Amino acid sequence: MTIQTAQTLTAMPAEWRDFFALTKPRVMSLVVFTGLAGLLAAPGAIHPVLGFTAILCIALGAGGAAALNQWWEADIDAQMKRTSKRPLPQGKLRREDARDFGFFLSGASVVTMGLAVHWLAALILAGSIVYYAVIYTIWLKPRTPQNIVIGGGAGAFPPLIGWVAVTGEITLMPVLLFAIIFIWTPPHFWALALFVKTDYAKAGIPMMPVVAGEKSTRRQIFGYSLALLAISLVPWAIGGTGAIYGVSALVLSGIFLALAVPVSFRTAQQEDTMKPEKRLFAWSVIYLFALFTALVADRMILA
């Protein structure tokens, strides 16, 4: 069923749940958490009301970018099993409404961040929205299998924004937090792409497993997992954090790498199962929450 047909058959007006779904709440939860972690781990202090406002702006900006992503990719989402139940493919919303909703959230988040918190934080927030909605969605995703590698920067901005909201400046530590998420994104997403690659192939999206093949993708997952272990320890190595974060990063990243091994170097017994990929994907989500929790705990306890 095409989107146009679904819209013709849908008589009920859009509900707030449909607009909320446009913001990709599961993804937003991770964005908000890492943004909050960056804010809490930053040196100095911020008024609780301004801190709440900064996190709210990060959430609204992420939601706006997600809505614009779904507006642009509505036809693609309709072809993929994983995304076919979203509001636009189901005809629950008009595409123009999704577009306008996305622009409104994006604009409101940037202006509010600038006026209430800090204009440098607002500028970075605006850059993250453009990065995801334009550079990744419109340019990279349909054109290159490196879309996730380059586009990973879009999801890496929140802790940087949270940190800058407190300090008003960009220093090495928030850049390292950005780098951790940037390196984390390819193995996280490719683990998912390996067991939904038929969806991407059907929709004509050049994800790495579709274009370069599974073997190349698996080897790259191992390489990025190894790099993640290294980059996650740099904040501790340079004295930017204490032992709570350092030991946690070593253990969490070590588990990540261990789970990447059966994904990257499959045995004959694993050929008919995607359990290693699903385990790695599940752990990758837990990993980021746990790592940034350790970052905040380190700051709160050792400050």
Q: How confident is the model at residue 2 (pLDDT cuts 50, 70, 90)?
A: very low
Which of these ranges, 195-199, 225-229, 259-263, has the smallest mean pLDDT?
A: 195-199
pLDDT digits (tens, 9 = 90+) for 59-109: 999 999 999 999 999 999 899 888 889 999 999 999 999 999 999 999 999
Which class for 64: exposed (0-12), middle (13-18), buried (19 or more C-beta within 10 A)? buried
More confident residue, 26 or 248: 248
Q: For residues 38 and 180, is the Cβ–Cβ distance under 8 A?
A: no
Q: How many CB atoms lie within 10 A of CB 15?
A: 12
pLDDT at 64: 97
- Residues 122, 187, single domain; the answer is no
- Residues 225, 300, single domain; the answer is yes
- Residues 211, 225, single domain; the answer is yes
- Residues 118, 210, single domain; the answer is no
- Residues 114, 147, single domain; the answer is yes
More confident residue, 292 or 208: 292
Closest among 73, 82, 96, 251 to 147, alpha carbons compared: 73
Burial 76-101 (b: 16+ CB within 10 A, else e): bbbbbeebeebbbbbbbbebebbbeb
pLDDT at 173: 97
pLDDT at 298: 96
Give me the percent of the chain exceeding a pLDDT of 70: 93
Domain's final residue, options 141, 170, 199: 170
Would the CA dihedral through 79, 82, 83, 86 be positive or negative?
positive
Structural domain of 233: 171-303
pLDDT digits (tens, 9 = 90+) for 150-201: 888 889 999 999 999 999 999 999 999 999 999 999 999 999 889 888 888 8
pLDDT at 150: 84
Specify the amino acid at residue 191. A
pLDDT at 7: 45
Angle at 232 between CA 292 and CA 57, to 5 degrees: 40
- In the block, tokens 């040196």 appear at 43
Residue 204's Cα: distance from chain center in Å?
22
pLDDT digits (tens, 9 = 90+) for 10-33: 435 678 899 999 999 988 999 999
Would the CA dihedral through 287, 289, 294, 299 be positive or negative?
positive
pLDDT at 271: 55
Specify the amino acid at residue 226. L
Domain's final residue, options 170, 200, 233: 170
- Residues 108, 230, single domain; the answer is no
- In the block, tokens 């507006």 appear at 71
Instruction: Using DSSP, state whether 88 is helix, strand or coil.
Output: coil
Mean predicted lDDT score pLDDT of the chain = 91
Kindly tell me if the per-residue pLDDT of 130 is higher than 50.
yes
- Residues 71, 202, single domain; the answer is no
Residue 73's domain is classified under what CATH number? 1.10.357.140
In angstroms, rounded to a whole number, what is the distance separating the alpha carbons of residues 141 and 189? 13
Assessment of whether the complete model's pTM goes beyond 0.85? yes
- In the block, tokens 């959430």 appear at 59
Domain's final residue, options 115, 139, 170: 170
Residues 6+ apart with CB under 8 A from 121: 54, 113, 114, 161, 164, 165, 168
Give me the percent of the chain exceeding a pLDDT of 90: 72
Kindly state the tokens that stand for 221: 């997952």
- Residues 109, 191, single domain; the answer is no
- Residues 21, 148, single domain; the answer is yes
- Residues 176, 252, single domain; the answer is yes
Number of domains in the chain: 2
In angstroms, rounded to a whole number, what is the distance separating the alpha carbons of residues 183 and 57? 25
